[in-house]
Structure 1
Amino acid sequence: MRRSSVATSFLLVSALGLTACSGGGSDGDDGARKAAEGLATALAAAAAPADGASTPSDPLAAVTWTGTDPATVAKEYAAVIDGMDGIAPSVEVAEVDGEADKPTATLTWTWPVVAGGDPWTYDTTVALADGDGWAVAWAPSIVEPSLADGETLDATTLLAERGEITGAGGEKLVTERPVVRIGIDRTKVTAAAAPASARALAELVDIEGAPFVKAVKAAGDKAFVEAITYRANDVPAAVRTGIDGIAGARQVTGEQALAPTRDFAAPILGRVGPVTAEMVEKDPDAYRPGDVAGVSGLQARYDEQLRGTTGRSVHAVPADGGEERELFLAEPAAGKPLALTLDRRLQTLAERVLGGVTPASALVAIRPSDGSILAAANGSGTGGQNYATFGQFAPGSTFKSVTSLALLRAGLTPQTQVQCTPTVTVNGKRFKNYSDYPSSAIGTIPLEEAIAQSCNTALIGARAKVKDGDLADAAASLGLGIDHDLGFPAYFGEVPPPASETEGAADLIGQGKVLASPMAMATVIASVQAGTTVVPHLVDGVDVSVPSEAEPLSAAEARQLKAMLRRVVTNGSGRGLADLPGGPVIAKTGTAEYADGGTIRTHAWMIAAQGDLAVAVFVQTGESGSRTAGPLLEEFLRAAR
C-alpha cells in the first residue's frame, strides 16, 4: 500500500496548485523556490495513491515544463516509478540557486522502502529556466540522479527467513521445507487471455475459480499470481502435466515454513500463506499485498516474532534489457524461533491413534511434573478445528475426579459408605446409572467403590454434603475452570453455579452446565498424579504460574484421590489398562449425553496417568468411555513408553 510522509502531506496543503510562477528573473531565488516547491509537491502527489481527496488528477500539469508537455512528463514519470511496489516517496526542496547562470534546485527524495527501517534518501538536481516565469527541464535524473533516458526503477521484496517452531528438546517442528507454487505468470500470457488461463488453472488444482480470476485480472503485467502451494513431493501428477496446456501457467520451486506433515498439529500450529486483503487493511504498516505471513493458529498469533523483517532492493533497469544497477539494499532480518513443548514422536503417535476414528476426536498428553503439553492431536472428524485444547464439552464421569475431591473436603473418606441405588429422583428428574452398570455394586458401598464403578446415583445422593461453590473450588484445585491466557487457544472449562437443584445434581456427574476441553481433563488427571495443581504449558516464555484462586491440594487429599483412581483400574471401569507394562496407572472413564437433532447421543471420555504422563481421550460420539475411548488411550500409553 502506498504511503505519503507527513512532509508530503504538508506540501500538498501548502503548495499544490502553484505553477512555475510568474515573475521572471525579477524575483530571483523567491520565484525559483516557489517553482521548486511546486515541482516537489507535484512529484509526490503524482506518486501517491488516490485517496478520495481533492487532489488534481494530473498534479504535474501544475508545473511549467521546458521542451515538453505535462502529459508526456506524466507518462514518463509513471513509467520510471511503476516498479516501486506502490511505495510513495516524499519530496522536499533542499536548496535553490535561482541567481546562478544556470539556475538549479536540489530535491531530497525519501522512500519508505521497508516499514520501520531506514528510508532510501538521496538528492537530485533540477535544471530551472527563467523566461516568462520559471520552468523545469524534465529528465529521469530528477527522480534518481543516475537514471538515464529510458531507465526505470524496480523494487524487489526480499522475504525474511521465517523463524522456526521447535518442540521438545529443540527439535524442529516447523522449518523451511521444499514446495512447488502453481500459478499464472502474467509475463507469459496477454491480459486478454489471462482470465481464461486463470479459470482453467483453478479447475485443474481444484480451487474456487472466481477469486483467482479476479486476482489475475488485477495483477500487473509482470506479476506471478499464485493459485496453490504443494509440498514438493505432493504435487499431483495430473497437475504437473496439465499446466503445460494452460497459457501462462507455471510451477515455481521454493521453500516454505512447514510442519513435518500436512496434518501435524495443524489446528494448533496454523499455516503460513499469502496475506489476506483484510490483514493488509487492518495493518498496512506490517503487510503489503503479496507478503507471506501466518494466517491461522500460532503462526498468526506469533507472526510478528516469526516473520522477521522484510527487506527490499531497488535497481535501475535499462530499457534495452541490459545489466541492472543496484541503487539501494535493505537486507531482510530473519524471524525469531518459537519454542513449544510438543514432542514430535508423541504428537505423531497421538495422530496415528486417532487416524481411524470417524467421529470428531482429540487426544491430549501432559507431563504432570511441569505441565508441558507433549501432544495435542485432533482427529479428522473435527474438520480442522482445535478440539484438543479449545473444545467445550460435558466431561461426564471423568469429572467425578473433581466431585471426589469436593466430597473428601466435605468430610467423607474413601471408605465412607454411600448408597448406590438403581435410580435417584431430584425435583422430578430421574437419574440412573449407565446401562451395563454391575449389579454387584448396587446398594451400600464405599465411596471408593462408587468411583471405581462410576455410580451416578451414589454421588447425586451425597449432594447435600457439597455446598455452593465447593465443586468449582475443587475443580480449580485440579486445574479446571480458572481461565487465563497461556499464549495459545486454551479452554480450561467451567463449573458455573447451578440454576436449580436438578442442575446441581447433574453437575456432580459431569453433566448439567459443566464443560471442559480434553486439555482441561488431562490437566485434572495430571494434577492428581502430581499431587499438586498443574497448569498446562505449551509456549515457552509464557507465565504458567498457578492461579491464586486455586486452593492447594493437601498431601492427604492427593493420596486419597490417587488411590481411588487407581481402584478404577484394578477393580472398576478402567480394567482395560490393568495389564499395561510399567508403573501403576490411575484412570477414570466418562460418558456424557448430548442432544443431536432430537437424538440423544453420548460423548466418550477416558483420562489416565502413568509415571510422568497424563492423557485425556475424547470421542464426540461413542458407545462409552471404557469401550470407545479406552482402547485408544491404551494404544497410546503402550506405544508411548
Structure 2
Amino acid sequence: MGKNRTLTSVLAVSALTLTLMSCSSDKPSPDDAAAVLAEGLSSADVSASSFTAGTPAQVNTELETLLAGMGPVRPAVTVAGIDEDAENDGAAAARLSYAWDVNMDSAPDWSYESTAQLRRGDDDAWQVQWAPSVLFEPLADGDRLVRTTSPGLRGEILDRNGQPLMSSRPVLRIGINKPDVPAEQQAASATALAELAGLDPAGYAAQVEASGPEAFVEAIVQRQEADGPVTPEALAGIPGALSLPDSRVLAPTRTFARALLGTVGEATAELIEGSGGRLSAGDQTGLSGLQQQYDEQLQGAPGVAVTLENTSGSNIVFSTNSSDGTPLQTSLDPRLQTLAEGILEDEPSASAIVAVQPSTGDVLTVANGPGSEGQQTALLGQYPPGSTFKIATSLALLRQGSTPDSVLSCPAELTVDGRKFNNAGTYPAAFVGDIPLRDAFAQSCNTAFISTRDAVSQEALAAAAADLGIAVEQPIGTPGFFGSVPETAEGTNHAASLIGQGEVLASPLAMAVAAASVGKGERVTPVLVSADPAAGEEPTSSAAAEPAETTGAGSLTAAEAASLRELMRGVVTDGGAAMLLEVPGEPVLAKTGTAEFGSETPPRTHAWVVALQGDLAVAVFVAEGELGSTSGGPLMQAFLDGAAG
C-alpha cells in the first residue's frame, strides 16, 4: 500500500506540472507584440499595437511630430531579439533594429538599435511602454528628428570637345520683399513689378498676397549682365522691390539650345512629389530638356544630415558626404549652334537647322527659331518633307535599274484616281516632257516621280527611305522623331508618297541623317548624347526615351550613294539651289523641297533644303515658307558660309 500511495502522489504532481505548463504556454508571446510594433514603426502607424499609457492614436500623433522633419523618409524596423525578465514573466524588452535610407539611394545608410519595454496586461496581452526613445535612444519629450540635404557640384553638360555648355553664372533674383513695404502698398508694388517683368500682374499680386508676412516673393530671375527687362533704375521706383545676387546654371545666352539643354531652377511641387523623396523644397534641379531628363546623373548624390532638435538647440546624429554629379557628354558644336540660331532669329514661323557629321554621326546643331516658341521642332517636328524626300524615291529608282540619265515622263499635269498633281508654279517649261532623271531631280518635277508609281512600289519606297535613316528609330539619348513612311499605300496615297507628301512625315533631324547617309555612303547612326568619357559609362536617365530598335547599317551601297550625290550636285549647278554655288570650300550638294498644308487656296507650304558639303550634312526647315530655294535656300547659304568661316 505504501508503494501505491507513493506512485499516486508522483502522478498527481506530474499532472499538476503539466497543467501549469499548459496554462503558461497558452499566454501570448512577447515576440508577436514586438513584431507588430516593428511593422507599425516602419510605416509610422502603430494602430495595431497596445500601450501601457495612451492610445495608439496619441502615439501616432507623437510619432508624426517626431518625424515631421524627416520628409518622406521612414525606417525599416525589425526585431533584433527579445530579452525576457527571468524573475518576472510579465516583463520583456524588445531590441529593435532600425535601417534608414536617408539619402534615398535605395540602400540603408543609418543603422542602430533601440529598446522597447513590454509589459503583460491584465488580459495577458503584451503592451508597449511608449517613449520617444523607442524610435531613437537619445530622443526625449520635446525632441524631433530633422533631415537636411546639401547638394554636391552639379555635373556639366559638355560639348563635343568636352567643354561645358552650361555653367554657374551670376543672376539677380528680383521680387517683392514684404517686410519692406506696408501691407496696403503690396498689391500695387506687385502689379508694377509684374508689368515691368512681363508677368501676369493679377497672378503675381495674388502670389504676393498669399505669401507670409516675412516672405520674399520672387518674380523673375535675370542674368546679372542683362540690360533688362528689369533695370536697377526701374526697380528703385517700386516700393518693396528687391534684387538679390545669386547664381544659376545657365547656357551662354538665354536662347542657346534651350529646347534641348533645358533649364535648372528650384524644384516645383510636382517634381518633388514625383521624385520619391530625392528632391526637397528649395533644391535646384533640372526643369526641362536634358537637364531634367538626366537630372539624377547630373545632380549626383546629396549630402544628408540628421539632427536631433529641441528648444535648446540641435546636434547632428548622422551625416553623409555629398558626391558630385557625373558630366553628360553631347556632340554639339557650340560655334555652329550659335551660328544656326543667329540665322533663324528673324524667322517668324517654326523653323530649325540640324547639322550632322556624316563620318561620325555626331549631331552638331539642334537649332530652333523663335517661331517654334520653345518647342523642339528640330528633333520632334513631324512634317511632310516634300521634294527633299525625292532622294529616297531616286534611290528606289536606282534599285529598279535606272541611272541619272534614264528618261522619265514629266507632263505639266498628271491625274491619279481623279486627283490632279502639278509641278510648282515656278517650274521651268523647258523641262516639261521626256527628261532624264538628273533633270527631273534638279528641277524637282513632281509628275515625273509620280509617273514611276508602277515601277516603284510603296514597299520599295519605304525600304529605300529606311536605308537612308528615315523612319528608322535610333537611341540618340533624348526623344527624337525619325520619320514615318507607310509600307503599304495605293492610288493617290502612293503617288503622294513618291514626292514626300500624303502620309510621309519627317523631322529636320531625319532629313539631316538622310543627307549624311548619302555623304557617308551607308546609313548613318546619329549620336547626340553619349557616355561620359572620363567615367567610361553610358549616360543614365530617369526619363529617357525607350531604346529604339535599329536594323544594322542598312543596305545602301557606295555606288548608289555616289549616284545620289551626282543628282544632288545637279540641284546646285543646274537647279533650284544655284545660290549655293557661291559657298566657299568643297562643292555643295543639295535638294530643295516644299510641302503643301492647310485648306487655303493657294495652300501654305513648308520649305525644306538639305545639303552636303564635305563632312557636313545640314537640313533647314521653315514651317511657313516660300519655295525651298527662295526661303530655305538663303538660310542654308548663310549657314554654310558661316560654317566655312
Q: TM-score range by the shorter chain?
A: 0.7 to 0.9
Aligned to 1:266: 258
Aligned to 1:83: 69
Aligned to 1:381: 371
1:169-318, aligned counterparts within 5 Å? 169-180=161-172, 203=194, 206=199, 229-234=221-226, 236-237=230-231, 241=235, 245=239, 254-279=246-271, 282=274, 284=276, 286-287=278-279, 291-318=283-310
Q: Superposition RMSD on alpha carbons, in Å? A: 4.6
Quick one: distance in 1 between partners of 2:506 and 2:461?
14
1:348-363, aligned counterparts within 5 Å? 348-363=338-353
SS of 2:165's equivalent? strand
| Residue 72 to residue 282, structure 1, CA distance change in 2 (3 Å) | closer
Aligned to 2:569: 566
1:443 is matched with which residue: 433, 448, 472?
Answer: 433
Q: Tell whether 2:498 aligns with 1:512.
A: no
Counterpart contact for 1:534–1:546, Cα < 8 Å: no
Quick one: distance in 2 between partners of 1:151 and 1:339?
46
SS of 1:170's equivalent? coil
Aligned to 1:585: 588
Quick one: distance in 2 between partners of 1:161 and 1:342?
23
SS of 1:486's equivalent? coil
SS of 1:351's equivalent? helix
Quick one: distance in 2 between partners of 1:273 and 1:411?
58
1:368 is matched with which residue: 358, 361, 375?
Answer: 358
- CA shift digits 1:363-418 (9 cap, x unpaired): 10010111110001111111211111111111111111122212222122111222
SS of 2:161's equivalent? helix
SS of 1:397's equivalent? helix
SS of 1:300's equivalent? helix
**Cα offset, 1:232, TM superposition:** 4.4
Q: Tell whether 2:625 aligns with 1:636.
A: no
Aligned to 1:617: 620
1:418 is matched with which residue: 405, 408, 412?
Answer: 408
1:431 is matched with which residue: 421, 424, 437?
Answer: 421
Moved more, 290-299 or 95-104: 95-104
Aligned to 2:9: none
Matched to 1:426, the amino acid is: V
SS of 2:636's equivalent? helix
Counterpart contact for 1:423–1:430, Cα < 8 Å: yes
Counterpart contact for 1:40–1:92, Cα < 8 Å: no
Counterpart contact for 1:103–1:129, Cα < 8 Å: yes
Matched to 2:44, the amino acid is: A
| Residue 311 to residue 212, structure 1, CA distance change in 2 (3 Å) | farther
Quick one: distance in 2 between partners of 1:436 and 1:502?
23
**Cα offset, 1:633, TM superposition:** 0.7
| Residue 499 to residue 123, structure 1, CA distance change in 2 (3 Å) | closer
SS of 1:155's equivalent? strand
Counterpart contact for 2:170–2:247, Cα < 8 Å: yes
| Residue 489 to residue 120, structure 1, CA distance change in 2 (3 Å) | same
Matched to 1:474, the amino acid is: A
Quick one: distance in 2 between partners of 1:42 and 1:528?
64
SS of 1:626's equivalent? coil
Aligned to 1:22: none
Quick one: distance in 1 between partners of 2:453 and 2:29?
92
Quick one: distance in 1 between partners of 2:391 and 2:419?
24
Aligned to 1:157: 149
Matched to 1:399, the amino acid is: F
Aligned to 2:44: 48
| Residue 217 to residue 302, structure 1, CA distance change in 2 (3 Å) | same
Aligned to 1:393: 383
| TM-score, length-scaled by structure 2 | 0.78
| Residue 208 to residue 73, structure 1, CA distance change in 2 (3 Å) | farther
**Cα offset, 1:308, TM superposition:** 1.9
SS of 2:629's equivalent? helix
Matched to 1:378, the amino acid is: N
Q: Tell whether 2:617 aligns with 1:627.
A: no
Matched to 1:632, the amino acid is: L
SS of 2:598's equivalent? strand
Counterpart contact for 2:524–2:553, Cα < 8 Å: no
2:555 is matched with which residue: 552, 557, 569?
Answer: 552
Aligned to 2:605: 602
Moved more, 576-585 or 407-416: 407-416
Aligned to 2:16: none
Q: Tell whether 2:443 aligns with 1:457.
A: no
**Cα offset, 1:361, TM superposition:** 0.4
Quick one: distance in 2 between partners of 1:567 and 1:533?
22
Matched to 1:553, the amino acid is: L
SS of 2:430's equivalent? helix
SS of 1:154's equivalent? strand
SS of 1:552's equivalent? coil
Counterpart contact for 1:198–1:216, Cα < 8 Å: no
Quick one: distance in 2 between partners of 1:35 and 1:159?
42
Quick one: distance in 2 between partners of 1:441 and 1:486?
42
| Residue 90 to residue 467, structure 1, CA distance change in 2 (3 Å) | closer
Counterpart contact for 1:396–1:590, Cα < 8 Å: yes
| Residue 451 to residue 121, structure 1, CA distance change in 2 (3 Å) | same
**Cα offset, 1:438, TM superposition:** 1.9
| Residue 453 to residue 141, structure 1, CA distance change in 2 (3 Å) | same
**Cα offset, 1:424, TM superposition:** 2.1
| Residue 609 to residue 32, structure 1, CA distance change in 2 (3 Å) | same
Aligned to 1:64: 53
Unaligned runs of 5+ in 1: 1-26
Quick one: distance in 2 between partners of 1:157 and 1:144?
20
- CA shift digits 1:164-192 (9 cap, x unpaired): 21111112113344445567999x79xx9
SS of 2:448's equivalent? helix
1:320-331, aligned counterparts within 5 Å? 320=312, 324-331=314-321
Counterpart contact for 1:36–1:93, Cα < 8 Å: no
Aligned to 1:8: none
SS of 1:582's equivalent? coil
**Cα offset, 1:294, TM superposition:** 3.2
2:337 is matched with which residue: 342, 347, 354?
Answer: 347
SS of 2:511's equivalent? helix
**Cα offset, 1:295, TM superposition:** 3.9
| Residue 81 to residue 433, structure 1, CA distance change in 2 (3 Å) | closer
Q: Tell whether 2:482 aligns with 1:492.
A: yes
- CA shift digits 1:215-257 (9 cap, x unpaired): 99799x99998765444445833799489955xx986655444
Structure 1 or 2, whichever has the larger Rg, is: 2
**Cα offset, 1:265, TM superposition:** 1.5
Matched to 1:64, the amino acid is: A
**Cα offset, 1:358, TM superposition:** 0.6
**Cα offset, 1:103, TM superposition:** 9.4
Matched to 2:333, the amino acid is: D
| Residue 509 to residue 108, structure 1, CA distance change in 2 (3 Å) | closer
Counterpart contact for 1:128–1:136, Cα < 8 Å: yes
| Residue 109 to residue 237, structure 1, CA distance change in 2 (3 Å) | farther
Quick one: distance in 1 between partners of 2:393 and 2:622?
22
Aligned to 2:101: 112
Quick one: distance in 2 between partners of 1:538 and 1:501?
38
Moved more, 109-118 or 522-531: 109-118
Unaligned runs of 5+ in 2: 1-23, 532-537, 540-546
**Cα offset, 1:607, TM superposition:** 0.8
| Residue 154 to residue 595, structure 1, CA distance change in 2 (3 Å) | same
